[in-house]
Amino acid sequence: MRTMTARVSAALLGLGLAFVPSLLLAAEPAGDAEHADEAAGPVFEASGRSLEAGADMSMVMWVTLLSLLAIFVLAVLGYAYRQKRQLNWAFQQPDAPHDAHH
């Protein structure tokens, strides 16, 4: 259970960090003199370079989230089915010993 929690946490952290470059690219340095502080570096403000959300964005988000949830439920059902039927595949295990005189 701990490994699954660690994997989910790592995936969420990676997803969050994946958005950092797009957030920085969507902002521009402020050009006015009141924000110019050489010691602090450039001040970033929201700009018009990023696209506005579409009118159907909430619908798209819900369909995406429900689709991902359905995929995860299907994967869990498949895993539970394999465990219940003991359909384990000995992946990369040595072959069972057999007669070498055939």
Q: Tens digit of pLDDT for each residue in 16-68?
A: 888 777 777 666 555 554 555 555 555 555 556 667 778 888 899 999 999 99
What is the Cα 33 distance to its own chain's centre?
40
Measured in degrees and rounded to the nearest 5, phi and psi for residue 6 equal -65, -40
Tokens of 34: 């009141």
List the end-to-end C-alpha distance of the chain, in Å, as a whole number.
47
**Mean pLDDT, residues 70-87:** 92
Q: Give domain status of residue 102, yes or no.
A: no
d(CA 72, CA 44): 39
> Do residues 6 and 45 share a domain?
yes
Report the C-alpha gap between 85 and 16 in whole angstroms.
38
In a domain, 100, yes or no: no
| Domain assignment present for 10 | yes
One domain, residues 63 and 84: yes
Domain of residue 70: give its range. 54-88
Under 8 Å between Cβ of 46 and 27: yes
Say whether both 3 and 41 belong to one domain: yes
The structure's pTM equals 0.43
How many separate domains does the chain show?
2
pLDDT at position 40 is: 56
